[in-house]
Chain A
Amino acid sequence: MTALALPPTGLRFENIDKRYGGLFALRRVSLEISPGECVVLAGRNGSGKTTLLRIASRIVSPTAGKLSFPGAVNDSAAGRPGYVAHTTMVYDELTAEENLVLFAKLQDVPEPAARAEELLREVGLFERRDSAVRTFSRGMRQRIAIARALIHRPSVLLFDEPATGLDPLGISWLAKTLGEVNRAGCTVVMSLHGESEISALATRAVQLDAGAVVADTKTGASLHSILSFGGA
């Protein structure tokens, strides 16, 4: 399902600032994420997790600082991060299949219809492939959002609270899927609240507070502590 189209890619944030008017969303954030790492961003609401992920996805430009992708081969479509946000980022009026084929074509995925079908089977929506997304439940919408992010076999995956709307079975499925893509070499960065099956995949936890990195750990006890209380 998830063989990468390109070699694994890392992420490097260098002194990233993001200001909205007079409000600092991020302050001098510097992080080096190695290719293939699975990083959890933890922190209270408003701590800057979503802003950091949107900057990493290149949807938002930083006010100051530099973002780079060490190991990136070129700026081809497969080199662009896959991003799952709070919203589905797909069209409600289109069917599940039409949405995936649309984004596959835009990103030059070979055989877009076959790739869409493969992903629809993986996310368990193949039977509903001809249904408009507006008829989907919250969990199904999250599944199609995840399929859209994976469609171009990205080297970097960015997930903003990916378990939102998923039932326990859905969370297990997501943990399994994320584990597979991560083992295939994909760098995963996700924001989470609290511990779950998904956070168990993390090899590193970064805690943000008021837009700044306040903790960054790879070791067991500290990792557990951030994951347990970082989102409180």
Chain B
Amino acid sequence: MALFSNTATLLGKELRTEFRSRELLTTTSVFILIVLVLFSFATNPGTEEAREFAPGLLWLAILFASSLMFQSCFLREQANDTLSSLRLAVSDPFAIFLAKLIANTLFLLLTEALMLPFFAIFYNITVWSQLPILSLVLLLGSFGIAIAGTAISAISAQARMRELLLPLLLLPLLTPVLVVSATVTGSLLDRDPVIQWKGIAFLGVFDMIFLTALWIFGQYFLEE
């Protein structure tokens, strides 16, 4: 029970500090919007070609925006050595990860919710009819990205070449979840939408495996 109460307390802190500064939400939203706008000029919206690569572009934008988010996730705990005070205070270090990854997932989902209307307009794609399943795919994909990103952020924050290390470790690790997310999203946004349940199940399994790995090995990532 201490794990859940500590997680809830820390999640409250994460949300409070972010909504006070709006640092991450602003950066990621602006970044995703810029990517979508720029690429919309490179294609002819409404064409089959745009429809084919738009889902891939969407997930690529989410990935790059999330890596901006992860860069500062544990780094800002170093300014006043607050990570040490958290480790001293919590009974289970997994609570620190759990709070951060839930917060990161929420921030990602909020950014995606803000950006989805622009995506639909710029690429002339109807997303509303598939919104419930699309939301599930975005949730599972974003959760997977957040789990891996939060773990790598903890590791890279203590390294000397942290700016280089994060994308170097994160991109290969997330390749499966990105490929599957883009494929499932592509079939959903097709003219004849198909729900790829196997792909959705894969995302669920990926999330469970990575969450379990983080639970088992997470405490070692926090050691000095």
**Which A residues contact B (CB, under 8 angstroms)?**
54, 57-61, 75, 77, 80-81, 83, 85, 87-94, 98, 102-103, 105-108, 148, 152
On whether the beta carbons of A88 and B80 are closer than 8 Å, the reply is yes
**Contacting pair A106 B84 (CB below 8 A):** no
| B91 and A93 within 8 A (CB) | no
B17 touches A94 (CB 8 A): yes
Q: How far is the CA of A98 from the CA of B10 in the complex (A)?
A: 12
User: What B residues does A54 contact at CB under 8 A?
Assistant: 84, 224
Task: Kindly provide the distance from the CB of A217 to the nearest chain B CB, expressed in whole angstroms.
Answer: 30
Task: Find out whether the CB atom of B84 lies under 8 angstroms from the CB atom of A85.
Answer: yes
Q: List 25 A-B contacts (CB under 8 A).
A: A54-B224, A59-B88, A75-B91, A80-B88, A81-B88, A83-B84, A85-B81, A87-B81, A89-B81, A89-B82, A89-B85, A90-B80, A90-B82, A90-B85, A91-B17, A91-B82, A93-B17, A94-B16, A98-B16, A102-B13, A106-B9, A106-B90, A107-B89, A108-B2, A148-B85
Name the distance in Å between B13's Cβ and chain A's nearest Cβ.
6
- Cβ-defined contact, A59 with B80, below 8 A: no
Kindly list chain A residues whose C-beta atoms are within 8 Å of the C-beta of B81: 85, 87, 89
Chain A residues with Cβ below 8 Å from B10 are 106
A107 to B87, CA, bound (A): 11
Q: Tally B residues with Cβ within 8 Å of A.
A: 24
Bound-complex Cα distance A107 to B85 (A): 11
> Are B6's CB and A106's CB within 8 A?
yes
Q: Which residue of A lies closest to B79 (CB)?
A: A92
Nearest-Cβ distance from residue A141 to partner chain B, whole angstroms: 9
Taking CB atoms, residues of chain A closer than 8 Å to B224 are 54, 59-60
Closest 8 CB pairs of A and B: A89-B85, A106-B89, A87-B81, A105-B9, A59-B84, A93-B17, A87-B80, A88-B80
Report chain B residues within 8 Å CB of A75: 91
Interchain CB contact under 8 A, B84 and A89? yes
Q: Are A103 and B17 in contact (CB under 8 A)?
A: no
> B160 within 8 Å of A by Cβ?
no
Say if the beta carbon of B198 comes within 8 Å of chain A: no
Query: Does B86 contact A106, Cβ atoms closer than 8 Å?
Result: yes
12 additional contacts (CB under 8 A) given A58-B88, A85-B81, A90-B85: A54-B84, A59-B87, A77-B89, A81-B88, A83-B84, A85-B84, A88-B80, A90-B82, A91-B80, A91-B82, A94-B13, A106-B90
